[in-house]
Amino acid sequence: MDTPGLRFTLAITGASGSAFGVATLRRLAANPQVARIALVLSPTGKRCLLDETGLTPKDLAALPKVRLMDERDLGADISSGSFRQDGMALVPCSAGALGRIASGVSESLVSRAADVCLKERRPLVLCLRETPLNRIHLENMLRVHDAGAVVMPIMPGFYSGPKGLDDLFDTFATRVLDQLGLREDDPRRWKS
Ligand SMILES: Cc1cc2nc3c(=O)[nH]c(=O)nc-3n(C[C@H](O)[C@H](O)[C@H](O)COP(=O)(O)O)c2cc1C
């Protein structure tokens, strides 16, 4: 029988801003509605994670509910539409990952799992991190948007008066969880 609770996939791809992915992972792990998080890192994602946070995939796998997946394993459960899961976020999403998803190139577990989310009409959140953007990036963003993804570039808001970088990462994580359908209380939300 299917286990109760929500299941999500979090991918960390090879772009700057892996700390935003770590903050999102921590928030997913702490959410009582979430039963399982499949964590996938691209090879450059691993490198950026280590360079920018000093963390390894093994460190992240120690968080509760996290199942670390091998990026090359196209036989992993999240590779199949028949496996029940509730959405996926790429935080950060490289321009390369965006391009592969936009063209339906499913040669890795990240791009295949994202492709499955689109075909099964499940939430797919792409937190693109690249600047400046060329025409190909802009066109790819429109393509994935039209296919059902949410394009959510890493552009944190400053109106909540962040006390530091962790606060900034965490406020952005709240917005990613919103897009996955997990609307958590957060005192940093805008109040007029
Ligand atoms: C240290 C480092 C930082 C990078 N930062 C970015 C970035 O911010 N945005 C981006 O789109 N690509 C960035 N790249 C390039 C991508 O990692 C590269 O295009 C890669 O093929 C993307 O594939 P992936 O999504 O499977 O990781 C960076 C690469 C390195 C080595």
pLDDT averaged over every residue in the chain: 96
Pick the atom of ligand 1 nearest to 98's CA: 25
**Nearest CA residue ID for atom 31, ligand 1:** 44
Residue 14 CA to ligand 1 center (angstroms) comes to 4
> Model confidence at 2, in pLDDT bands (50, 70, 90)?
low
Reported for 71-78, long-range contacts at CB under 8 A and 24+ positions apart, including other chains, are 71/40, 71/41, 71/42, 71/43, 71/108, 71/109, 71/110, 72/108, 72/109, 73/109, 74/106, 74/108, 74/109, 74/112, 76/38, 76/109, 76/113, 77/38, 78/9, 78/38, 78/40, 78/109, 78/113, 78/116
137 lines ligand 1 (CB under 6 A): no
**Nearest CA residue ID for atom 1, ligand 1:** 48
The verdict on pTM exceeding 0.95 is: yes
pLDDT digits (tens, 9 = 90+) for 73-132: 999 999 999 999 999 999 999 999 999 999 999 999 999 999 999 999 999 999 999 999
153 lines ligand 1 (CB under 6 A): no
> Model confidence at 134, in pLDDT bands (50, 70, 90)?
very high
57 lines ligand 1 (CB under 6 A): no
38-to-69, 143, 174 alpha-carbon distances in Å:
6, 25, 19
**Domains by residue range for the chain, with CATH:** 6-179 (3.40.50.1950)
99 lines ligand 1 (CB under 6 A): no
Is pLDDT at 1 greater than 70 in this prediction? Answer: no
Amino acid at 28: L
52 lines ligand 1 (CB under 6 A): no
Tokens, residue 86? 């509730």
Percentage of the chain with pLDDT > 90?
Answer: 91
**Nearest CA residue ID for atom 7, ligand 1:** 15
Residue 118 CA to ligand 1 center (angstroms) comes to 23
